[in-house]
Structure 1
């Protein structure tokens, strides 16, 4: 059974020989894993989703069954560093080096109030030159043997608040100033066009997402979500399914989003990610029992405690336990619930992959 067959089989809710697996890495853990395995480390891709799509050769060596691709920054608008050492991307978002991560420093539409504030802004071109060059090459190289997942997270909500600022944007979702719907639709359409291009290129899964959850519950009133986001997400899903009825759609949302899961099922979601296991209500037993006949699951291996702090033996035991729950009858892609963080020991990452391999014996 090839990796691609393994993934497609589980998404048909049929049990494969073992759960398929996928990980995304922070640069620090990628460097340590490459050193341990004595592999050259490829440079990361120049993309908002760099941690998701970079280092495919390393991750396949570890045991991944999926290869992620994404829109990259175009050749005519690459990320640039200004004289202050700040990074500015094609959206105009400005970041500063905060150590392990680049953190937001300036929100380019923090002043937005009017429709014209949005209409006069220079947004990215979904079809800019070079945007899909890396995706084309990765699909050509790996698409026959491995499932290809097209990365399209920060689909609406997160891109909007990256532009406006989180506090202002959350308030504006309730106040509804004139700019709001124009920005929501503009961002939706840009990212939808990028997703359509990934589907045309041949991805098997399109991976949308916005973080609507916190550790204890939804980040906004579900009524606000249903007003501003549900119809737009439904439009995206239906557009993608119309373009390719066989495409599988995954949605990423960190945190606890239990009240929203039935809505996502209603509008056509296939795969829920990342099942943050320490978030309130995101219990694998509950999720599989309640929604396992309607959804596939993707994630559930804890990066907050288990992977950084557990022993290799504990990790292997817990990985097998989670897989036995979520993978029963198929419908599960085993994965850490976020990028594997820099505080994770190499031996713990290897233990997770070893557990997966042992399930196939």
Structure 2
């Protein structure tokens, strides 16, 4: 019998699988209701539902003092603003739940020198030696280990610069765009190599490059600015860890970009947003080259469908992928407050009781 880790890795490599693994993330209010209604006060929903993987934890930057970013905000920020490790401000309100308004520290930068002077974090082996022990601990429990870097190049860059500014740089000020994206590529490559050297099974990359019904930028713009950077990063990782499984996350409609993601070295694509793309069509076109994670809509069936509709979605998509695997079926995004527990439990039951068609 396979361990959860072995079963998941076989499924992702399209080598067959023994059981359908379960996976989802809960927003804070759903996590609270889980503890109150289902698991108990000190319970962990990932343990309770026997999920097959865990993130090893966030890398530690050499300089954890975020006050160095305050000059980009006039020397101070409000009590409702938190500055993250990249210097991006997150402004919350009493009604914003787990969402924040983003504040961009380099939105007013006008020169390459200003970008190059930005105190971007540095991540060293010395500060992150703990990673290897965490990976070993997860593997000893039969769990797959994940290095999470879902904001890899594009999103991290625009978080700091501002999306409109970075888009305009890419179109009309190439020196500024190159300085910004190259700075982030270097930082993200360093981070990815630390995870790879620590022995993680899965490197989870991602940048949202799709919108609800269209791609976020032209293929020409993507191929010029983002594709080569992602390909270089993945190439360096696979030079030292050829067997590592690279996930890539992007919300929205991204079908025109899938061929580039495959060429860049992506092994698993998340989430195949059900409201934007038809999984059967995507699988028939690309399923022999790449695996998938997600496909169960969090805008539609999870919050607003019936439990039976959730089960039908799970079983139908697993049937499409077939007995060899290639689909880690799961909700396509964080489960939000309006998702009823009946539907979450229906998803779990459908996974647990699924019978493969040989």
TM-score normalised over the length of structure 1: 0.88
The counterpart of 2:138, out of the listed 136, 139, 142, is 142
Whole-Å separation in 1 of the counterparts to 2:266 and 2:66: 32
The counterpart of 2:298, out of the listed 297, 303, 306, is 303
Whole-Å separation in 1 of the counterparts to 2:201 and 2:261: 20
* Structure 1 residue ranges without an equivalent (≥5): 43-56
The counterpart of 2:345, out of the listed 320, 332, 350, is 350
Residue deviations 1:321-346 (CA, integer Å, cap 9, x gap):
11211344211112211111121112
Structure-2 residue corresponding to 1:359: 354
Q: Retained in 2: the 8 A contact 1:155–1:208?
A: yes
Moved beyond 4 Å, runs of 4+? 72-76, 78-83, 128-133, 135-138
Q: More displaced, 88-97 or 215-224? A: 88-97
The alignment covers a number of residue pairs equal to 344
Larger radius of gyration: 2
Aligned ranges for residues 265-284 of structure 1 at < 5 Å? 265-279=262-276, 282-284=277-279
CA RMSD of aligned residues (A): 2.3
Whole-Å separation in 1 of the counterparts to 2:344 and 2:129: 30
For the pair 1:28 / 2:29, whether they are aligned, the reply is: yes
Structure-2 residue corresponding to 1:166: 163
* Structure 2 residue ranges without an equivalent (≥5): 68-75
Whole-Å separation in 1 of the counterparts to 2:197 and 2:125: 16
Whole-Å separation in 2 of the counterparts to 1:128 and 1:117: 28
For the pair 1:125 / 2:122, whether they are aligned, the reply is: yes
TM-score normalised over the length of structure 2: 0.89
For the pair 1:60 / 2:47, whether they are aligned, the reply is: yes
For the pair 1:71 / 2:58, whether they are aligned, the reply is: yes
Whole-Å separation in 2 of the counterparts to 1:100 and 1:94: 16
Deviation at 1:184, TM superposition (A): 0.5
DSSP-derived class of the 1:212 partner = coil
Whole-Å separation in 1 of the counterparts to 2:186 and 2:304: 41
Whole-Å separation in 2 of the counterparts to 1:358 and 1:346: 18
Q: More displaced, 249-258 or 259-268? A: 259-268
Structure-2 residue corresponding to 1:9: 10
The counterpart of 1:85, out of the listed 73, 80, 101, is 80
DSSP-derived class of the 1:102 partner = coil
